[in-house]
């Protein structure tokens, strides 16, 4: 298997970055949270940016539509209250 490393500091591969992106990570910061890539020397951040490109990103699409990205993924208030009641 031919591994192409994006982050040599933490041994993160292109394949791993792409999997995190498929899982919803849209920015280098989100990739860093998921894999630590880009958090040491920082030389891989531009490579991560190029792998992410300007492809589909649910949060980015919401912002471009003028909608708040965080409120769109928050649970409905009635569901959240029900979940809290059930947990208590």
> Could you list the pLDDT tens digit for every one of the 88 residues in the chain?
678 999 999 999 999 999 998 888 888 999 999 999 999 999 999 999 999 887 666 665 666 677 665 543 444 455 445 545 555 5
Q: Which pLDDT value is given to residue 61?
A: 60
**By the 8 A CB rule, do 15 and 3 touch?**
yes
Q: Which long-range contacts (CB under 8 A, 24 or more apart) does 16-21 make?
A: 17/48, 17/51, 17/52, 18/51, 21/51, 21/52, 21/55
Q: Which pLDDT value is given to residue 79?
A: 47
Q: What is the pTM of this model?
A: 0.62
Q: Which pLDDT value is given to residue 76?
A: 46
Q: Which pLDDT value is given to residue 2?
A: 75
């Amino acid at each position: 298997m031919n591994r192409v490393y994006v982050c040599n500091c933490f041994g993160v591969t292109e394949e791993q970055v792409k999997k995190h992106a498929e899982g919803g990570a849209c920015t280098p910061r989100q990739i860093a949270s998921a894999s630590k890539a880009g958090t040491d020397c920082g030389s891989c951040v531009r490579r991560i940016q190029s792998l992410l490109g300007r492809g589909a990103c649910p949060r980015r699409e919401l912002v471009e539509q003028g909608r708040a990205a965080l409120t769109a993924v928050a649970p409905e208030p009635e569901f959240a209250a029900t979940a809290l009641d059930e947990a208590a």
